[in-house]
Amino acid sequence: MNFFQDVLAQLTIWAALPKQWLQAYPFLQTGIDTLCVTLPLAALLAFAGLGFVSATARILSITRKRSSYDKCARQLAMLAMILGWSLLIAGRVWLFFAQDAYTPDSLPDFMVELSWILLGLAVLISSLYFALWKFLVKVPILHIFMGIVSSIQACIAVAVTLGSARMLSAYMRPDASSITLGDIFFPGWLSPFWCALYWTLPLALAMAGAGGAMWLAIRRKREDFGRDHYNTMIPWCAVWARNAWTIFWLIFLGATVAEIQQGWQGDAFTGRNVALESIKVLIWLAPLALWTIVARSAAPMRHKLSLLLALLIAVAFMLPYYSQVTDLSTLKADAAQETLVEPLNSGTPETAPQESGSAAPEAASQGDEQATGQPATPDVSKDTQSEAATPRP
């Protein structure tokens, strides 16, 4: 019995060590929180885009009559299925520990559960798309349609997931009771939230191309389809990532320029702020340059480090992307002030301005009585009215 007690005590001590480390080194907690945001979001976007890329490769295998595209499409479908099931299981585990109980009347809980259900439907269609590969060879239109539907369903799941994250951030605010759904989801077509939504589809296609190129490089020894296959398909995936990232970067550039112009007109930006924003914009050109190098290379298998570096930089952008999605600074800033000021103003009677007007004749009558030598007698009726009109504290 003492042996088991000692083992339990040792396990308790070991279980408490991570908490002690996090308390002693706060940067570890920050790093873990960052990874918990960037990695799942990057995997979710890649999963949403892989169906489109795989279906496109399947179409090219028919139109160009090249088996390399069909093999690449199947490899990408396998990656999508792995990412989908990983996200689905990890999401259910996170919900089990994060939520004490599901409240049907709670809108945030409903949206969180809905996002998981929609992701489950996307994973199911993606799994069927991969599992029925050999059975639907003679029905290519149905097979391609399944791949596209899986990506569309995954994009819907991404939109609902981002909306759930934004709503949870809104419910954490002290003035949450005064915020409406319109304030949360429709702050303005050029607001940071909607600008981030404009990036979502290009980012999904870019992450799918980047993940697919890296996945093919990893599977080189596992699935030996020949050197020509990988020398053709890795640059093809890199071109997908480069083109989609270019579209995203142009939208990002336009949003940044509009923000700088608006802040400059309001004297909120200085030359230093403009320089910092310009550097931030130029930093995100690095993945585009790396994918361009891989796409034009005659031996793309030698650029595994470039593929990995470009993928890591693209994953790092998920943190500012998530921050902009959950940014609530553009909500009504005076929402809390309205809540605090309106009850105070409602207690003031509408007849208050009339008191100042009636005070002038009263003072004049008192002045006339003093001028004639008679003592000034207060008007009882007016005092009574003023006392009745003045609210007691």
Which of residues 388 and 40 earns the better pLDDT score? 40
pLDDT score recorded for residue 208:
95
Return the closest-CA partner of residue 230 out of 31, 69, 36.
69
How far is C-alpha 233 from the geometric centre of its chain's CA atoms?
A: 31
Task: Give counts: helices (H), strands (E), the chain.
Answer: 15, 0
| pLDDT (tens digit per residue) in 260-287 | 777 676 666 677 777 887 888 889 999 9
Q: Which amino acid is at 64?
A: R
The average pLDDT across 24-41 equals 80
Which of residues 180 and 375 earns the better pLDDT score? 180
For residue 375, give the DSSP letter: P
For residue 102, give the DSSP letter: -
Write down the pTM of the prediction. 0.77
CB 299 within 8 A of CB 231: yes
- Check pLDDT > 70 for residue 298: yes
Mean per-residue pLDDT of the chain: 79
The average pLDDT across 246-255 equals 91
Q: For 73-106, b where at least 16 C-beta lie within 10 A, e where not — what string?
A: bbbbbbbbbebbeebbeebeeeeeeeeeeeeeee
CB 225 within 8 A of CB 68: yes
Q: For residues 164, 167, 169 and 173, what is the CA-based torsion angle, rounded to 10 degrees?
A: -160
pLDDT score recorded for residue 60:
93
Q: Which residue has the tokens 């020398």?
A: 231
Q: Which residue has the tokens 């553009």?
A: 330
**Cα 248 from Cα 291, distance rounded (Å):** 14
- Check pLDDT > 60 for residue 232: yes
The average pLDDT across 371-389 equals 44
pLDDT score recorded for residue 80:
94
Percent above pLDDT 90 for the chain: 39
pLDDT band at 3 (very low <50, low <70, confident <90, very high): low
The pair of three-digit structure tokens given for residue 5, joined into one six-digit string: 């007690």
| pLDDT (tens digit per residue) in 302-351 | 889 999 999 999 999 999 898 888 877 766 544 444 433 344 344 444 44
pLDDT score recorded for residue 265:
67
**Cα 88 from Cα 109, distance rounded (Å):** 17
pLDDT score recorded for residue 361:
45
**Cα 64 from Cα 44, distance rounded (Å):** 31
At 173, give phi and psi (nearest 5°). -75, 150
The average pLDDT across 90-108 equals 75
pLDDT score recorded for residue 117:
93
CB 52 within 8 A of CB 80: no
Return the closest-CA partner of residue 289 out of 239, 237, 233, 242.
242
pLDDT score recorded for residue 120:
94
| pLDDT (tens digit per residue) in 127-177 | 999 999 989 888 999 999 999 999 999 999 999 999 888 888 888 777 777
List CB contacts of 165: < 8 A, sequence separation 6 or more. Answer: 322, 325, 326
